[in-house]
Structure 1
Amino acid sequence: MSPEAASPQLAILQFLTSLQSPARILVAISGGSDSTGLLLLLDEAVKAAPHLKISLCAAAVDHALRAGSADEARKVAALCASLGIPHIIMIWQGDKPKTGIMAAAREARYGLLATAANDFNADLIVTGHTFDDQRETLAMRGLRTEQVSTGIADAVLFDRRFWILRPLLFSSRADIRAFLNERGVPWIDDPSNEDTKYERVRMRRQLSAEACLEKDIGAAWEERLALSAKGAEWLDRYFTLHGGLLGQVMLDGLRQDWAVLDYVLGRLTAVFGGQPFARGRAHMERILAFATGSEPGRMTAGRVVFDLRRDGLYLTRESRGIVPLVLQSGEAGVWDGRFYACNGLSTSIVVEAATPHASSFLSSDLIRGMSQESSAPKSLGAQDTSRFIESITTQTRGGWIPVTSTGMRERMHHLPKAAWKRAIASAPALTSEGAPLSEESSRMIELMPYFAPFDRFLTRFDFIFANRLSAVFATAPYARLPLRSIDGKTI
């Protein structure tokens, strides 16, 4: 977990002693040298230190993309059996996309690993990413931006459920293979690792075996962690959320350090726009130039309307391009990248934008004023949007709670009417079979804010900021790292 080169054995020992225990680790193993080495290194270290109270299980994901993948998965299963490690093969079922296959495979892989971790009652997942992967990633990102990159994160929270840790991130592939050769353990060479149609393979061939990181990744990590902490403080001081739909940045917040403003506005744009990544450099320069300008006005970027007024900058989702989401009985999904919905009814529902011409906006609980007594949504029969004040109520795993600004209780009629009208038009409206839901039916729908840049993949570098944002939206906090220390420092 430290951005310093380390032998595989030392890296694993440091990793295990940093874990909270007892712990059950799911090892993601493909049969390649990196993941096979990870499994054996962990197995030896765990057996040598029973006092750590750590156990292992493993999962192989068969992407079913080429002939022979099933045989490879069975070889992995045999290796795990020989070590006495519980193992499961997860198969990527269904049709595969014709474009963007690598990204789709990655998404499927982590989803299947999370399922396996849940089935094994594991506490965390580990993958065999190495120093070589880190170099390749930094080189590829270096071709796209002049900014210092953090590269591959050593810890990522997936789907708000499982932390994925990479204990060999600063150990070399050559050292891992030397370890396997000493043990007489073979590995499988994936032919796709030699296919030059993939950017990573081309970059791997360009990098020499002696190449070093050109940039101080340790410094980049510290810089990102510091930005996350400063961004969280900025949220406390300068940001207010109105009704879970409209963000307001105080004018003083727009006069803060440029790097912090770039960080927070980039991520707020992604959250309010329902997009998984912050905008690129050109877009952010345009947003920052507008936000720090002296003239009131409006601009749209990243699916977000920025409304600069005398009392601050308002952000909300633009009303265009909001696609309805149909959920069959028992299905769950993310609507517009901004709201998670789960249908507990026996009939299908539609989640769509609450446009002015719609027969209803949100449930009466979703549009009533800030009410601490509110415990469940009621019918979707509201007609008067002036009743839509102060908060929407959203269901979290802990129950129904009001989404409020940080301690603010002002009435919505103090807000700019045009900004608030846009916010209402971006709200989720729920119907079933073309009609508003009844009070009883609405209780069967789970609805909560979704943060597109964080809720699927959250690196530890953004954890502090994301967790504070979660508090602003009154949603459940993110799961903490399953570590007692990082780089020798107690957390």
Structure 2
Amino acid sequence: MSPDAASPQRAILQFLTSLRSPARILVAISGGSDSTGLLLLLDEAVKAAPHLKISLCAATVDHALRAGSADEAREVAALCASLGIPHIIMIWQGDKPKTGIMAAAREARYGLLAAAAESFEADLIVTGHTFDDQRETLQMRGMRTEQISTGIADAVLFNRRFWILRPLLFSNRADIRAFLKERGVPWIDDPSNEDVTYERVRTRRKLSADAGAERNIRAAWEARLALSARGADWLDRHFTLHGGLLGQVTPDGLRQDRAVLDYALGRLTAIFGGQPFVPGRAQMDRVLTFVTGSRLGRMTAGRVVFDLRRDGLHLARESRGILPLVLRPGEAGVWDGRFGAVNRSGTIIGVEAQAGHSLIPVLVTGIQPPRVGAVNDSIMLEESPAPKDLGALDSCDIPRIKSEDRNEGGSDGRLPKGAWKRAMAAAPVLSAEGAPLSEESARMVELTPYFAPFDRFLTRFDFIFANRLSAVFATAPYARLPLRSIDGKTI
């Protein structure tokens, strides 16, 4: 996976030798030149190096968006059969959205590829993205922001489970097509690749050569990896999580290098706000100006309340705009972009925000409650009917609030009342038709923290920070990369 790969063949050989083995690779193949070239390159290399103990399987996603797609998928199946490679066709079923079709297709595609990998017991997925795709992506992102982009990542973890790797990311499409022509293997040209209603097609037609693009991408990758590591160290030193709901940054943490603060606080904002992306540049500049200033107070951005006090910065989800989630028996979903929920009970359950309910919120197993105070100084709640293995709050979990601490936060390490109450208002509550769940049903509902910017798609550049965050939230670590080395460097 090196930007210095001189040819597709060299890129594939370097990729295979970098893999942890034995390994089973699922090749995503549409029938286009890039993915067909990827399959043949891998097939030749794997057969030439049996000592690597690597096997292949393949999947074609039929998006069912145009006539002829089913026939094309069958052509790919025939090619795989001729090579002796197990293959499956995955069809995107159901109604298609009227707008945002490309994004929806991408979501469906990776979900179906993951299902195929599961059925084949594959260890990883590979796609045929090329340097041409990379340049188009950089051009499109460059039109939206002045920040240096990392472009398409060479490794992305999908759903915390499968790593998606792109071994041809620095190989040119022309070289891949030349390889296919030498082998006498045809490919399918998707007509959507010439449809100028798509931004990528319009960008492709305007692209000019950039001799320094590879070097710039590599530098951006190294910078992002370094920032992820520094952000993880910042978490260790300056961030505390209370009750799984309220984040706190020390005053010293707000005085750290602005680039690190921007990186870490932007991602914490996305996590506490349940958003898949960090706030935009203008919004983050406003947040950073506020949190690094000398004026205490509150502001809201990205669905997060930033409460700046003498004891530091407190972050909590604002209680507005939180939609309920209804799960039938056996269903799973994500509530508010912040909690994964699995309903293993035999009844329909609802997950809603505490605000406006008399129900007691539940916290997640493994999360430590806030510091306990004396009863007469605490906010008192009736004991929760929810089971203790769900981490339910009861009266002894409520932070102690001294009267002199109510505006600025306590100097003795206890939480300010206002900040904690806001966090509690956005806490999840479980119900069945508006009534509390029975203890038996509640025990069958699993709630776990969900990181919206990471848990669906996590690039390797953010892996260090995200994995450290998993430890802070007491969740399982992310699956490690299936590589022994990257660019010749052992990892």
> How far apart are residue 412 of structure 1 and its match?
11
CA 1:45 to 1:150, structure 2 compared with 1: closer, same or farther past 3 Å?
A: same
Matched with 1:399 is none
* Change over 3 Å in CA distance of 1:351–1:412 after alignment to 2: farther
1:340 aligns with 2:340: yes
Counterpart position of 2:172: 172
Offset of residue 211 of structure 1: 6.6
Secondary structure of 2:213's counterpart equals coil
Gaps of at least 5 residues in structure 2 are: 372-384, 400-409
Q: CA deviation at 1:213?
A: 2.1
Instruction: Give the direction of change, closer, same or farther, for the CA distance of 1:92–1:142 in structure 2 (3 Å limit).
Output: same
Q: Cα gap change, 1:39/1:311 in structure 2, threshold over 3 Å: closer, same or farther?
A: same
Q: Distance in 2 between matches of 1:144 and 1:359?
A: 44
Partner of 2:243: 243
Partner of 1:125: 125
4+ residue stretches of structure 1 with deviation over 6 A? 363-368, 379-385, 410-413
Q: Indicate if the aligned counterparts of 2:28 and 2:127 stay in contact, CA closer than 8 A.
A: yes
The alpha-carbon deviation at position 384 of structure 1 amounts to 8.4
Which whole-Å CA distance do the structure 2 matches of 1:5 and 1:364 have between them? 46
1:378 maps to amino acid: P
TM-aligned CA distance change 1:300 to 1:281, over 3 Å: same
Counterparts of 2:455 and 2:422, CA distance in 1: 25
1:195 maps to amino acid:
D
Query: What secondary structure sits across from 1:216 in the alignment?
Result: helix
Task: Please tell me whether the aligned partners of residues 322 and 353 of structure 2 are also in contact (alpha carbons under 8 angstroms).
Answer: yes
User: Could you report, residue by residue, the CA deviation over 1:420-453 in whole angstroms, capped at 9, with x for unpaired residues?
Assistant: 0011111110011322112211111111000000
Q: Secondary structure at the match of 2:90?
A: strand
Task: Give me the identity figure in percent.
Answer: 79
CA distance in 2, matches of 1:477, 1:97: 34
Paired residues, what number? 468
Match of 1:378 among 382, 387, 393: 387
- TM alignment of 1:230-309, pairs within 5 A: 230-309=230-309
Aligned-pair distance for 1:347?
A: 1.4
Aligned residue in 2 for 1:229: 229
3-state SS of 1:241 partner: strand
The residue type paired with residue 100 of structure 1 is: G
User: CA, structure 1 residues 141+383, in 2 after alignment: closer, same or farther (shift >3 Å)?
Assistant: closer
- SS of 1:360's partner is coil
Residue identity in the other structure for 2:397: F
**Contact conserved, 1:249 with 1:313, CA < 8 A, in 2?**
yes
Distance 1:412 1:195, change over 3 A: farther
Amino acid at match of 1:388: D
Q: Tell me whether 460-469 or 352-361 shows the greater mean CA deviation.
A: 352-361
**Contact 2:58–2:80, Cα closer than 8 Å, also in 1:** yes
- Per the alignment, residue 99 of structure 1 pairs with 99
Going from structure 1 to structure 2, the CA distance change for 1:351 and 1:418 (only over 3 Å counts) comes to same
Residues 97, 104 of structure 1: 8 Å contact kept:
yes
2:8 corresponds to:
8
Shift of 1:355: 1.6
| Partner in structure 2 of residue 35 of structure 1 | 35
**In 1, Cα distance between the equivalents of 2:411 and 2:76?**
61
Is contact 1:344-1:445 (8 Å) kept? Answer: yes
Paired residue secondary structure (1:56): strand
Give the C-alpha shift of residue 6 in structure 1: 2.8
Match for residue 354 of structure 2?
Answer: 354
Contact 1:92 1:108 in 2 (8 A): yes
5 Å-filtered alignment, 1:188-227, equals 188-208=188-208, 213=213, 216-227=216-227
Number of the residue aligned with 1:403:
none
- Per-residue Cα deviation, 1:70-120 (whole angstroms, up to 9, x for no partner): 000000000000000000000000111001000000000000000000000
RMSD between superposed Cα atoms in Å: 2.4
Offset at 1:364? Answer: 11
1:311–1:411 distance in 2 versus 1, CA, 3 Å = closer
Query: How high is the TM-score relative to the length of structure 1?
Result: 0.91
- Rounded to whole Å, the distance in 1 between the matches of 2:303 and 2:12 is 44
TM-score of the superposed pair, with normalisation by structure 2: 0.91
